[in-house]
Structure 1
Amino acid sequence: MEELADLAGITVRTLRFYRERGLIHPPRREGRIAWYDDRHLARLRTISTLLERGHTLSGIAELAEALDHGRDVADLLGVTPTEEEPVRLTPEELAARFEGQVTAENLAAALDLGYLATDGGEIVHISRRLLDVSAALVREGIPLAEVLAAGKELRAHADVLADLFADLILRHAAEEDLPRLRPLARSVVEAEMSLALDRRLRKTN
């Protein structure tokens, strides 16, 4: 415990307090010896960073609980091949992407949507494109909570579109052809979305 506290730049008393609040996991025990590892150190450094940025211990505890109850990376990615590139982030890097908006509520919403999962001391976002676009929208002044709410609604529409295209293909081809024809489906959706935005912009002009 003393070694961990020293590496984290905190006192043993503070470390005990964090343990009592459930901010870090219990150590692995062998008899009377308690073993801490790099995950404990990473969590303590994350706590220090968030405190420096004005987060409260109560808020940090909620974030920690949301992360600890998130799905792991295997559940997130599943076994189906994907064109999306997952991104690994430390909690500090995630907080920096969405300055001041990585709240317990937003983190829980992202976990529920399947955007985020945990893998040891890291966070995994399912899609670099979604991560970059979400961060760009937040930088433009759109609250992260509203971005996530829109993502949830969009998910339902995207599932309908995917089912429509899959049914079309399966009526005329084999199921194994779906991965090969997937880029065609994406192109159709992107083109229709672009045309829909054109129509929407004409209404406002």
Structure 2
Amino acid sequence: MEYRMEELAREAGITVRTVRFYRERGLLRPPRREGRVAWYDDRHLARLRTIAALLERGHTLNGIADLATAFESGRDVGEVLGLGEPTEETPVRLTPEELADHFAGEVTPENLAAALDLGYLATDGEALVHISRHLLEVSAALVRAGIPLAAVLETGRRVRAHTEALAELFATLAQDHAAATPPAELRPLARSVVTAELSLALDRRLRPPRDPKPARKT
């Protein structure tokens, strides 16, 4: 669908003056021009509805502009996921306002840029894609528990370095002993080893200290 400015404003439930204001602030991409007529499409309408939803959630126009800049400079889905590459993780498609709902008050331009740089988020046209439903749900749960999203993302960055090293260990194991264990069978076994070892390590670090034994009376 394409709209003249008046039609676009009516569909978005705002005034023509507001549309012009958003264009001047860089919140709206330039329209397609046909002579002296400017034509807007559904992507412009989606952006206006996203701006309205973010404003309702307490974001400022300056903040939305910064978010849009970080969003548009982000890596696309093909670059992050790799087209055709196998994965056991399920990507999740999100609108910006849905992302804001997952991390209420924590979706700042800095955090969005960090998530894009880390590869947790990618862009797909006007939408966002999180590379893993598991990581999205766990990250949201940590934020709800009171941990700042910036700290969650930094921890994810540090975990990434360790998991890359673990993956290299098991990939080498698979290459050196391919006849004994095919890679397809090694993958779930490797995951089980890492899960068990992490659980044991957390037990050692999170276990409450034992009370010292009382001295025997003589």
Q: TM-score range by the shorter chain?
A: over 0.9
Pick which of 10-19 and 59-68 moved more.
10-19
Pick which of 21-30 and 1-10 moved more.
21-30
Do structure 1's residue 91 and structure 2's residue 96 form an aligned pair? yes
Cα shift readout 1:112-133 (whole Å, capped 9, x = no counterpart): 0001111122110000000000
Structure 2 counterparts to residues 1-205 of structure 1, below 5 A: 1-78=5-82, 79-173=84-178, 177-202=182-207, 204=209
Alpha-carbon distance in 1 for matches of 2:118, 2:195: 22
Residue 16 (structure 1) shift = 1.0
Runs of 4+ deviating beyond 6 Å: none
Unpaired segments ≥5 residues, structure 2: 211-218
Distance 1:99 1:187, change over 3 A: same
Cα shift readout 1:9-50 (whole Å, capped 9, x = no counterpart): 111111111111111111122333322121111111111111
Alpha-carbon distance in 2 for matches of 1:141, 1:202: 21
Alpha-carbon distance in 2 for matches of 1:18, 1:48: 11
Report the residue type matching 1:127 in the other structure: S
In the superposition, the TM-score normalised over structure 1's length comes to 0.94
Pick which of 22-31 and 87-96 moved more.
22-31
Q: Alignment identity in percent? A: 73
Alpha-carbon distance in 2 for matches of 1:28, 1:185: 52
Alpha-carbon distance in 1 for matches of 2:17, 2:54: 19
* Residue aligned with 1:36, SS: strand
Pick which of 128-137 and 24-33 moved more.
24-33
Residue 148 (structure 1) shift = 0.4
Unpaired segments ≥5 residues, structure 1: none
Q: What CA RMSD, in Å, does the superposition of the two structures yield over aligned residues?
A: 1.6
User: Which of structures 1 and 2 has the bigger CA Rg?
Assistant: 2
Alpha-carbon distance in 2 for matches of 1:204, 1:5: 63
Alpha-carbon distance in 2 for matches of 1:204, 1:93: 42
Report the residue type matching 1:62 in the other structure: D
In the superposition, the TM-score normalised over structure 2's length comes to 0.89
Residue 53 (structure 1) shift = 2.0
Alpha-carbon distance in 2 for matches of 1:194, 1:187: 11
Task: Give the structure with the higher percent helix.
Answer: 1
Report the residue type matching 1:59 in the other structure: G
